[in-house]
């Protein structure tokens, strides 16, 4: 990367004076002064490529970007080519192009956000063997790629405890996006959490087959609520927005009805606000958190310190503050019981007393 290339160039200058003019020309092309160039070359830089969800998706990509921003603030970096930055993908055809662009801009570490980036990261990592990459939510077995995964089942378990205690109908729903391991781990933990505190509960489960079909998410949620569910958890990206809309609509029609939704990845409380006779209510019970921000910040720090874990899979769980649960809705009738119980089970998981299943039992 940058520092290695800079060191080679300086060695050539010292070894052969005749190269001085050429090296001077190359440095001038960077647009900085000699002093500025030295500072830039010594500064660790990092950037990310979003998937089609975009950097402000209120979920996965946004969390990753917040992690890079936090890393930048911690290390005195500014947004841009000499600090931290991102490129947004409009379609999957942009993934490889955007990754290549950031490598050519000489970033020390380049992230691909989301499992949809797996093929593009694999392709570009094979071409750009001197570059360092990281991918979130997938595993790429290349020596210059660090793979970030999470223990989604642990976050799902805590969400299941909340749902199992709050339900009045003992009928609970789960909406998944695509039937892949990342999502089935959420479901496995959620089911186990519900059963741990409410073994009599029935759990409806359905996969939408997509992460960007809000209308389909609403249709599934409508069926589940009609079939008696009063709490539904989604792990479905943008498809889950349909769950929120259905929950808000039902609450607006019948303010006294218990209707709850549980968000995913980030705290999605803002998606649950309902205006009822001039008073705000909120249908979000809590959210299963996936701390992509913490993982991105942590891995960037490792790479900056010369500890880039190329070829390794780094998994973040409760013990690493890589997953968690958002605060329980103040209006929930079982708020105190849920909060206390969640903390008890969380400690058991952190202490290794409880291992949450990764497949539905």
Q: In angstroms, what CA-CA distances link 8 with 13, 308, 335?
A: 9, 21, 61
* 126 and 262 assigned to the same domain: no
Q: Considering the chain, what is the average pLDDT of its residues? A: 89
Tell me how far the alpha carbon of residue 337 is from its chain's centroid: 28
The verdict on 143 and 158 lying in the same domain is: no
222 and 343 co-located in one domain: yes
Residue 167 lies in a domain: yes
Residue range of the domain that includes 105:
45-150+295-319
Q: Is the pLDDT of residue 23 over 70?
A: no
Same domain as 264, residue 168: yes
Tell me if 86 is assigned to some domain.
yes
Q: With respect to residue 355, please indicate whether it lies within any of the assigned structural domains.
A: no
**Residues 56 and 112 both lie in one domain:** yes
Q: Are residues 145 and 157 in the same domain?
A: no
pLDDT-based confidence at residue 14 (cuts at 50, 70, 90): very low
What confidence category does residue 140 fall into, taking pLDDT thresholds of 50, 70 and 90? Answer: very high
- Is the confidence at residue 20, as pLDDT, over 70? no
pLDDT digits (tens, 9 = 90+) for 335-347: 999 999 999 999 9
Q: What is the mean pLDDT of residues 140-163?
A: 98
Q: Are residues 200 and 307 in the same domain?
A: no
CATH of the domain at 248: 3.40.50.2300
Inside any domain, residue 324: no
Domain co-membership, 14 together with 110: no
Residue 361, domain member (yes or no): no
Examine the domain organization and report whether 182 and 223 are in the same domain: yes
Residue 357 lies in a domain: no
> How far is Cα 136 from Cα 145, in angstroms, rounded to an integer?
11
pLDDT at 40 over 60: no
pLDDT for residue 27 is more than 90? no
- Show the 3-state SS of the chain: CHHHHHHHHHHHHHHCHHHHHHHHHHHHCCCCCHHHHHHHHHCCCEEEECCCCCCCCCCHHHHHHHHHHHHHHHCCCCECCCCEEEECCCCCCHHHHHHHHHHHCCCCEEEEECHHHHHHHHHHHHHCCCCCEEEECCCCCCCCEEEEEECHHHHHHHHHHHHHHHCCCCEEEEEECCCCHHHHHHHHHHHHHHHHHCCCCEEEEEECCCCCCHHHHHHHHHHHHHCCCCEEEEECHHHHHHHHHHHHHHHHHCCCCCCEEEEEECCCHHHHEEEECCEEEECEEEEEEECHHHHHHHHHHHHHCCCCCCCCEEEECHHHCCEEECCCCCCCCCHHHHHHHHHHHHHHHHCCCCCCCCCCC
Go through the chain and tell me how many residues it has. Answer: 361
CA distance 315 to 295: 9
Residue 272 is predicted with a pLDDT of 98
Per-residue pLDDT at 41: 55
The pLDDT assigned to 54 comes to 84
**How many structural domains does the chain have?**
3
| 70 occurs within a structural domain | yes
Share of the chain above pLDDT 70, in %: 89
Please tell me the distance from the alpha carbon of residue 204 to that of residue 233, in angstroms, as a whole number.
10
Residues 125 and 269 in one domain: no
CB atoms within 10 A of CB 107: 25
Statement to judge: residues 168 and 90 lie in one domain: no
Residue 179 scores a pLDDT above 70: yes
Q: How far apart are CA 234 and CA 241, in angstroms?
A: 9
| pTM of the entire predicted model | 0.85
Residue 276 dihedral angles phi and psi, to the nearest 5°: -120, 110
Do residues 208 and 343 share a domain? yes
Nearest residue to 183 via CA among 201, 209, 164: 209
How does pLDDT run across 269-307, given as a tens digit for each residue? Answer: 999 999 999 999 999 999 999 999 999 999 999 999 999
Residue 112: φ, ψ to 5°: -110, 125
Query: Per-residue pLDDT tens for 215-258?
Result: 999 999 999 999 999 999 999 988 999 999 999 999 999 999 99
| Residue 9: pLDDT over 60 | no
* pLDDT score for 37: 37
In a domain, 174, yes or no: yes
Report pLDDT digits (tens) over 107-121. 999 999 999 999 999
């Amino acid at each position: 990367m940058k520092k290695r290339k800079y060191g080679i160039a300086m060695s050539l200058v010292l070894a052969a004076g005749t190269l001085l003019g050429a090296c001077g020309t190359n440095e001038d092309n960077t647009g900085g002064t000699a002093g500025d160039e030295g500072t830039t070359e010594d500064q660790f830089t990092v950037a990310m490529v979003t998937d089609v969800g975009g950097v402000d998706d209120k979920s996965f990509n946004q969390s990753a970007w917040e992690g890079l921003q936090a890393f930048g603030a911690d290390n005195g970096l500014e947004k841009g080519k000499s600090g931290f930055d991102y490129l947004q993908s409009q379609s999957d055809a942009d993934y490889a192009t955007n990754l290549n662009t950031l490598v050519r801009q000489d970033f020390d570490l380049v992230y691909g956000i989301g499992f949809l980036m797996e093929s593009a990261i694999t392709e570009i990592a094979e071409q750009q063997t001197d570059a360092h990459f990281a991918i979130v939510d997938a595993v790429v077995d290349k020596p210059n790629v660090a793979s970030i995964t999470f223990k989604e089942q642990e976050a799902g378990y805590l969400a299941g405890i909340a749902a199992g205690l709050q339900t009045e109908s003992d009928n609970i729903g789960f909406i998944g996006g695509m039937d892949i391991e990342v999502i089935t781990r959420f479901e496995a933990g959620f089911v186990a959490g519900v059963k741990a505190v409410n073994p009599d509960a029935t759990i409806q489960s359905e996969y939408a087959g997509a992460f960007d079909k809000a209308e389909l998410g609403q249709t599934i949620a409508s069926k589940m609520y009609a079939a008696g569910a009063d709490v539904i958890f989604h792990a479905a990206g943008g498809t889950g927005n349909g769950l929120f809309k259905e929950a808000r609509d039902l609450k607006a029609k019948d303010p006294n009805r218990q209707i709850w939704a549980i968000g995913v990845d980030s705290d999605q409380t803002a998606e649950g606000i309902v205006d009822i006779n001039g008073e705000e209510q909120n249908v979000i019970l809590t959210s299963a958190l996936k701390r992509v921000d913490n993982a991105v910040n942590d891995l960037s720090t490792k790479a900056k310190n010369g500890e880039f874990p190329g070829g390794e899979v780094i998994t973040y769980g409760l013990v690493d503050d890589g997953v968690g649960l958002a605060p329980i809705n103040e209006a929930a009738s079982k708020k105190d019981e849920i909060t206390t119980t969640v903390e008890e089970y969380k400690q058991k998981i952190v202490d290794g007393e409880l291992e949450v299943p990764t497949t539905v039992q």
